[in-house]
Amino acid sequence: MILAVDAGNTLVKMGVVSPHAVLSRIAAPADRCVTPSDLAGLATTAIAQAPNAMVRRVAVSCVVPRLRPLIWEALSGLPVPGGLGPLWVRNDLRLGITVATRRPECVGSDRIADAVAASELFGRPVIAVSCGTTLTVTVVDADGMLLGGAIAPGPVAAARCLASATGQLPDVALDSEMESVVLRALGRDTDEAIRAGVLHGLIGGLRSLIRGIHDELRARPPLVLTGGYAEALARCIGPEANVVRDLTFRGLRLIADRNPD
């Protein structure tokens, strides 16, 4: 079993992951994780919520530079058998796929973990989509090459951008379920108009990206969705969308298994 750490722009998530299941999960807002003790407390709670679990390794995906030294200090002292320090996901590990972008070292560790898990669960080629603070689309071809993909603002980031870049538009809260507005394209007031524009724009943009990827690959790979908006996006895209809640955690476990030392 491993302790998986997924440190993103909005949340820091931790969980104990076995070969077959996620045994525990806990999350905290990233902006409230300001000391190593904050993160050590999360790790301790995640492990405590998985009774009798023997954590043999810690695997980390972190896309927030300020959190890296805090995570290192918080997790380096965990009692892991063999004294192995945290495994930080990067492109040159044994992944089971090859990061084949122009600058492999710049591909986010969360995208790598998602691609590894999606490839294992659904085969190759495959398209992995994560929708949280950002919308990321990551493509692995039939030869196991992570070719790249697309990055766009997630719904919350898009709404905040409208508020910060304009003089009158409010910062509108968005429901991750999206049920009430996805069916309505015609907003009856400013808040509704922003929700309609952001969410329908996100859905339309993702559909366009998927069509373009199909054309470029000359194939229709499985589509795997994860992140806070995955369920809502899947309902809008249709039956070809597969939702895997803990895709990043699963990828972290696979990477830890493939890099035992």
In terms of phi and psi (left: phi > 0; alpha: psi -120 to 50; beta: otherwise), the region of 52 is left
- CA 255, chain centre distance (Å): 15
* Cα-Cα end-to-end distance for the chain: 15
Select from 138, 150, 73, 80 the least CA-distant residue to 109.
Answer: 138
In the set 6, 110, 114, 246, the catalytic residue is 110
For residue 112, what are the contacts with CB-CB under 8 A and spacing of at least 6? 61, 89, 90, 91, 95, 99, 146, 251, 255
Active-site residue flag, 175? no
Peptide bond into 125 cis (omega under 30): yes
What whole-number distance in Å separates Cα of residue 23 and Cα of residue 16? Answer: 5
- CA 241, chain centre distance (Å): 16
What whole-number distance in Å separates Cα of residue 135 and Cα of residue 132? Answer: 6
> Are 85 and 60 within 8 A, CB to CB?
no
Query: Under DSSP, is residue 7 helix (H, G, I), strand (E, B) or coil?
Result: strand
> Are 182 and 199 within 8 A, CB to CB?
yes
Q: Which residues does the annotation mark as catalytic?
A: 110
